[in-house]
Amino acid sequence: MAKIKGDIVINTDRCKGCEVCLAACPFTVIAMSKEVNSKGYHFAMKVNDECTGCTNCALVCPDGVITVYRAKVATE
Amino acid sequence: MEELFAKTEIHKPENIVYKRTDLLVDRPLSYCPGCGHGTAHRMLMEVIEEMDIQDKTIGVSPVGCSVLAYDFLDIDMIGAAHGRAPALATAIKRMWPNHFVFTYQGDGDLAAIGTAETIHACNRGENITIIFINNGIYGMTGGQMAPTTLPGMRSSTSPYGRDVPTMGHPLKITELIAHLPGVYYVTRQAVHTPNHVRKTKKAMRKAFELQKENKGLCFIEIVSNCNSGWKMTPVQSNKWMEDNMFPFYQLGDIKIDGKLVEKKVTVE
């Protein structure tokens, strides 16, 4: 059986930690990291595998740091 | 292990459903975290990419936070004197009628110092697109009161809130210019939720399509936040904007196909 799987890749060096994507995600896939990036911001990161590739987080990201992948993955 | 397998399977170029458009120059935006300018820039560039008009689009950047827009948008740009972007865009459009010309202005630029240029460009019905970012404050200079500041709203020059008897009423410039016959399409949108971002992109696409048909001036207002000027976190400022800005600046189309639309509330 095929299932839609999504994944996001966050360019953590460009993330400014505004947290707008957290509210946009319907599956709470994104959380803020404890570490900071080179600019000193707590960056967004993916914390679970619930992502469906809906692109909501990428659409609202003011800095466009999120790339979204979506694919049909065969599962048993 | 299973997760690793899934990731290698998904991470292929053909599976990309969304990525930052290449028409935005690959450098960090100079805006504050959570500022609506970045999203507005990206939607604008996506529309230009989809319509494949990069080589014949000329933008006019304002004075304000977005004065550096020419550093980020990979198209031909000109920086106008404060508030004079519509006048400059008029000249460009008359020189090159087949090019797509837009101005990208903030509320201090468009609704304060540039009121005369804005109103007369709209009245002449120039075939340009005006993108107006309204955050109710002068963001770049430190959060001073703008013509669009709400009654009672605090800013650095109205620390006790805007007092209407002494400081005047907020200016709804979008409603004002919607009544001019030269203006063909007027809409007010926002960019803080995915739904609003999609609607904004649709409105921009429509405005550029109408410019192609030489229909008249198209005006898109984007109600945005200014979290550093409002002294809030980005998420708080978006909430504050929904609660306070949207009841006053109601979202939705104001004029379609040269006809005024009956007021509809589309606040969610």
Contacts of B249 (CB under 8 A, 6+ apart): B134, B148, B172, B174, B188, B221, B223
B213 vs chain A: nearest CA distance in angstroms? 29
Confidence of residue B45 (pLDDT cuts 50, 70, 90): very high
CATH class of B31-140+147-259: alpha beta
Query: Do residue A9 and residue B37 have CB atoms under 8 angstroms apart?
Result: no
Residue A40 contacts residue A74 (beta carbons within 8 Å)? no
The total number of structural domains in chain A stands at: 1
Mean pLDDT computed over B239-255: 94
Residue A42 gets which letter from DSSP?
Answer: E
Distance CA B66, CA B224 (A): 13
| pTM for this model (two decimals) | 0.91
Yes or no: say if B189 and B196 are a contact pair by the CB < 8 Å rule: yes
| Cβ <8 Å between B194 and A9 | no
**Residue of chain B nearest A72, judged by CA positions:** B10
C-beta atoms of B34 and A18 within 8 A: yes
Interchain contact, B16 vs A14, CB within 8 Å: no
Give residue B6's pLDDT: 57
Q: Where does B46-128 show beta strands of DSSP type E?
A: 57-61, 76-79, 100-106
Q: Which residues of B touch A64 (CB under 8 A)?
A: 20-21, 24, 38, 42
What is the arithmetic mean of pLDDT over B29-45? 94
Judging by DSSP bridges, how do beta strands A30-36 and B129-134 pair with one another? Answer: unpaired
Residue A32 forms contact with B (CB below 8 Å):
no
Integer angstrom CA distances of residue A73 from A19, A24, B6: 29, 24, 8
Determine the distance in angstroms separating the CA of B193 from the nearest CA of chain A, rounded to an integer: 6
Question: Is the CB of residue A30 less than 8 Å away from at least one CB of chain B?
Answer: no
**In angstroms, rounded to a whole number, what is the distance separating the alpha carbons of residues B31 and B140?**
10
Look at residue B227 and tell me whether its pLDDT is greater than 80.
Answer: yes
A49 pLDDT above the threshold of 90: no
pLDDT in tens, B176-190: 999 999 999 999 999
Residue of B nearest to A42 (CA): B33
Inter-CA distances, B51 with B110, B192, B231, Å: 27, 24, 38
Report pLDDT for B1. 43
What pLDDT shows up at residue A2?
77
Q: Which of A10, A65, A14, A64 is nearest to A39 (CA)?
A: A14
Task: Please report, for chain B, the start and end positions of each structural domain, with discontinuous segments joined by +.
Answer: 31-140+147-259
Range of the domain at A32: 2-74
Chain A residue closest in CA terms to B21 = A64
A59 and B238 within 8 Å at the Cβ level: the answer is no
Mutate which of B3, B5, B10 to disrupt the A interface (most A C-beta within 10 Å)? B10
Backbone φ and ψ for B239, nearest 5 degrees, come out as -65, -45
Confidence of residue B264 (pLDDT cuts 50, 70, 90): low
Task: State the amino acid at position B56 in one-letter form.
Answer: K
Which chain A residue has the Cα nearest residue B199? A59
For a pLDDT cut of 70, what percent of chain B falls above it? 95
pLDDT band at B10 (very low <50, low <70, confident <90, very high): confident
Q: Which are the contacts of B55, defined by CB distance < 8 A and separation ≥ 6?
A: none
Average pLDDT in the B56-82 region?
93
CB-closest option in B16, B21, B235 to A69: B16
> How far is it, in rounded angstroms, from Cα B40 to Cα A61?
10
| Domain of residue A21, CATH code | 3.30.70.20
Q: How confident is the model at residue A73 (pLDDT cuts 50, 70, 90)?
A: confident
- For testing contact with chain B, the best of A10, A20, A68 (most B CBs within 10 A): A20
